[in-house]
Structure 1
Amino acid sequence: MLSHAAIAAAGKVVARELAATPLVSHPLLDRAVGTEVLVKHEHVLPTGSFKVRGGVHLAARLTDREASSGLVTCSTGNHAQSVAYAARLAGCHATVVMPACAPQVKRDAVEALGATVVIHGAGLGEAAQHARALASGAGAPSYIDTTDERIILGHGTAYLELFQQATELDAVFVPIGSGTGAVGACLVRDALMPGCRVVGVQSEAAPAVWRSWRSGEIETAPARTRASGLATTSGYPSTLPVLRTGLADFVLVGDDDIDHAARLLAERAHTLAEGAGAAALAGLLASADRPRRVAVVCTGANASADEIARLTAA
């Protein structure tokens, strides 16, 4: 069951492997934004992303069958590294299907963790179909969905830390790809800081989960965003119910807005963020009503060469 209690239990598992990440105020960033901004620096974790939390929790909760058969999943990058990290911890093999749009730096990182990378399809939907096909048949590896409950609970530990570190917050802005992190934010917020608003942020060039949140039905949409961590093409049944009830708002931002936020994080917070990692700040900057004290989560630092080049282009 997805709950604050289950996330708290996952927190004990994750804490045995990963140190807590800092929640830090950067005065220059505060000045640029016009309000007090606390940055949760998840990018300092192994694999450069908060998603390794899901991998650590998954590794501790694998069934005997999964550990013996090995794992297969699909991802544009950070979930891929998370599952590869889980397989290495558990002493089994992982195969990761990545679409052609996945940045080379993320492909290389998955292989460096010992997993096999298979490139298939133009987008995440085609990659997911192929990964599921690889998991069919006797002796096939076990498919690990991006919204596997063990993954969601592991991701939620980032927000368990955040709400324990912050004494008072008006809002937390959370980037949304599949919505696993935002689910954790909502569940922990309800238990520890119920007056805090959780605001989801997605690229307007990949609005499938936003559309699903608006309609209450699983919607699809093309993913044309440059931010690979946000490039989902469908809503997710596992996360949508909590997002619908838990998010105070859900905003769309342009890819250029995300680049601007990444530039601010680099210049004013000494932080390299990939597109998804800068999206929370982009959402805050796009908000007409600036909260007095707000947290944004830098979920990842696995920026591609193109992303790094754009930081200095303007």
Structure 2
Amino acid sequence: MCFFEYWHWIDVMSPATLVGMDINAIRDAQRTLAEHLDPTPAWGAPALDEVTGCQVVLKHEEVQPTGAFKVRGGLNLLAGMSPTMRAAGVVSASTGNHGQSLAFAARRFGARCRIVLPEPANPTKVRALRAWGAEVVLHGSTMEAAAGHAMALAERTGARFVHPANEPALIAGVGTLYLELLTTHPDLDYLFVPVGGGSGAASACLVADAVAPNCRVIGVQASASRAAHDSWRAGELLTRPNRTEVEGLAIGSGYRATQAVLGRYLADFVLVDDASVRAAQLLLLTHAHTMAEGAGAASLAGVLSRRSELAGARVGVVVTGGNASPAELAGVLDAPHVTAA
């Protein structure tokens, strides 16, 4: 069996990926993370209201110590591991932010961390991974190839392989950002969430169902890497071409654990092209003093794609990360400006 096939086999067959995901696990994670992270701000941006026609509330996860929301999941997962498991270390595949979350947590808990990235890798994220103490391995040109190599490495060394999405502890950890947001702003009509593997969107659904049931959660994915979107629409796990340049959304398959939650709770799912994401990054920079990486701006791109339907609504927009490379930022500055509707 090749590593690509094994990657999908473990995703489909593991029953452990379907348990331990509920609001109680997220509340437990919130208590765990209180020792390590402060809540991030969530506030309005009136200049964005004018352009979108909505009342926008931005959740600023780009201010996390790793520059992205994923740090919550890594800390929650490592906090729940035994000293023996930590000593064996963790191994995973990532385009950058998931890897940084594990690297940060491994440094905090004294564990070895190895992260496999596909080439070419964002140099900003590689530098950050190494600064947090991770051992960086470059392998293959896709996340699927990198994941296969990471699993083989874990099997050889006895380390804990950490799936980037099918991990209840990761989902519970990232869910704490939505618990913060929807506890503070329970009157949101909509919550737009970027989707790669889907851990953030799944946790958003679980929290909204528990504390803000009138808030509709909308997933946003890149049209050039639409596997999660198509899996949700079809009600079955699908693979699709993975061609987006938006790193955090560059996933080529649907994942069972997150799709199980999305299939039950997600209100809608929209696709945006890469150019729209770049335009949303520029809008965040010019209208909200916020530097977002592509995935961090995808939620706003989703809002802009639906603004005729959202007039006057209160809309939560999650800026999931700000780890943009210099080359990416240069492309953002060349993006077209978005004008008011």
Residue 306 of structure 1 aligns with which residue?
Answer: 327
* 1:293 equivalent in alignment to 2:314: yes
CA displacement, residues 19-44 of structure 1 (integer Å, 9 cap, x when unaligned): 10111101111111111100000110
* Residue aligned with 1:37, SS: strand
Distance 1:107 1:77 in 2: 7
Which residue is equivalent to 1:144? Answer: 162
Equivalent in the alignment of 1:265: 284
Counterpart AA for 2:202 = V
Please, which of 91, 104, 121 is the counterpart of residue 72 of structure 1? Answer: 91
Mapped pair 1:127 → 2:142: no
Alpha-carbon contact 1:25-1:39 (below 8 Å) kept: yes
Equivalent positions of 1:192-207 (< 5 A) are 192-207=211-226
Which residue among 19, 42, 46 is the counterpart of 1:23?
42
The one-letter code sitting in structure 2 at the alignment partner of 1:217 is E
Once residues 123 and 240 of structure 2 are traced to their aligned partners in structure 1, the CA distance between those partners, rounded to angstroms, is 24
Is 1:185 the equivalent of 2:211?
A: no
Structure 2: tracts of 5 or more residues without a match: 1-19, 336-341
Alpha-carbon distance in 2 for matches of 1:45, 1:205: 28
Contact 2:41 2:60 in 1 (8 A): yes
1:251 is aligned to 270
On the 8 A contact 1:202/1:230 being kept in 2, the answer is yes
C-alpha displacement of 1:63: 2.7
Q: Which residue of 1 aligns with 2:178?
A: 159
In the alignment, the residues of structure 2 paired with residue 213 and residue 64 of structure 1 have an alpha-carbon distance, to the nearest angstrom, of: 38
Partner of 2:5: none
Structure 1 letter corresponding to 2:324: A
Q: Distance in 1 between matches of 2:137 and 2:239?
A: 24
Q: Which amino acid aligns with 1:96?
A: I
Contact in 1 for aligned 2:186/2:211 (Cα 8 Å): no
Shift, 1:149, TM fit: 1.2
Equivalence map 1:61-140=2 (5 Å): 61-137=80-156, 139-140=157-158
Query: Which stretch of the first structure deviates more once superposed, 102-111 or 266-275?
Result: 102-111
Residue 140 of structure 1 deviates from its aligned partner by 2.4
Distance of 1:213 and 1:110 partners within structure 2: 32
Amino acid at match of 2:220: V
Q: How many residues align?
A: 313
Query: How far apart are the structure 1 equivalents of 2:332 and 2:231?
Result: 32
Contact 1:38 1:295 in 2 (8 A): yes
Aligned residue number for residue 223 of structure 1:
242
Q: Is the CA contact 1:72–1:96 (under 8 Å) kept in the aligned structure 2?
A: yes
C-alpha separation in 2, matches of 1:8 and 1:102: 34
Q: Percent identity?
A: 47
Contact 2:85 2:160 in 1 (8 A): yes
Answer whether contact 1:185 1:198 (CA < 8 A) is retained: yes
SS, match of residue 269 in structure 2:
strand
Kept in 1: contact 2:68–2:97 (CA 8 A):
yes
**Alpha-carbon distance in 2 for matches of 1:63, 1:259:** 42
Matches of 1:293 and 1:252 in 2, distance apart?
21
1:101, 1:123 within 8 Å by CA — same for their partners in 2?
A: no
5+ residue gaps, structure 1, are none
Give per-residue Cα distances to partners, 1:166-215, cap 9 Å, x unaligned: 04111000000110011111011011110110000000011011111111
Cα pair 2:119 2:139 within 8 Å, conserved: yes
Alignment match, 1:52:
71
Could you tell me the TM-score, scaled by structure 1's length? Answer: 0.98
SS at match of 2:192: strand
Please say if residues 76 and 101 of structure 1, whose CA atoms lie closer than 8 Å, have aligned partners that are also in contact: no
Shift of 1:64: 3.4
Alpha-carbon shift at residue 255 of structure 1 (Å) = 0.3
Write the letter of the residue equivalent to 2:309.
D
User: 1:73 offset after TM fit, Å?
Assistant: 0.5
2:258 partner amino acid: T
Conserved? CA contact 1:73–1:144, under 8 Å: yes
SS class of match (2:257): coil
